[in-house]
Amino acid sequence: MKLGTLVAGINAALTSVGGFLNPVVLLVIRVFWGWQFMQTGWGKLHNLERTANFFASLGIFAPKFNALMASCTEMTCGTLIALGLLSRFASPALICVMCVAYATAERQALHSIFTDTDKFLSADPFLFLYAAVIVFTFGPGRLALDTLIFAQKKR
Span 96-147, pLDDT tens digits = 999 999 999 999 999 999 999 999 999 999 999 999 999 999 999 999 999 9
In a domain, 31, yes or no: yes
| 128-to-2, 7, 53, 134 alpha-carbon distances in Å | 45, 36, 22, 10
pTM of the model: 0.92
Burial state string for 88-115 with b = 16 or more CB within 10 A and e = fewer than 16: eebbebbbebbebbbebbbeebbebeee
Q: How far apart are CA 83 and CA 44, in angstroms?
A: 21
**Has residue 138 been placed in a domain?**
yes
11 belongs to a structural domain: no
CB 74 within 8 A of CB 37: yes
Q: How far apart are CA 136 and CA 47, in angstroms?
A: 29
In a domain, 5, yes or no: no
Residue 119 within any structural domain of the chain: yes
Q: Are 128 and 37 in contact (CB under 8 A)?
A: yes
* Count of structural domains within the chain: 1
Percent of the chain with pLDDT over 70: 97
Please report whether residue 86 resides in a domain: yes
Domain encompassing residue 58: 24-154
